[in-house]
Amino acid sequence: MKLWEANHSYYCSESNFFDRDYTTEYNSWEEFIEAEDDSDDDLNLVFRWDWKISNKEGEDYYEPDEPTTHQLQLCYMLQRKGIYRAVIVDVEEDDEEKIRKWLAPKYQKMLEIWQPFNMVAVAGS
pLDDT in tens, 59-117: 666 666 777 889 999 999 999 999 999 999 999 999 999 999 999 999 999 999 988 87
Q: β-strand 83-91 against 68-78: which pairing, if any?
A: antiparallel
Give the total number of structural domains in the chain: 1
Range of the domain at 51: 3-124
Amino acid letter for position 15: S
Kindly report the pTM of this predicted structure: 0.83
Q: 19 to each of 14, 16, 22, 85, 117, how far by Cα in Å? A: 12, 5, 6, 9, 33
Q: Identify the helix (H) or strand (E) that includes residue 108.
A: helix 96-124
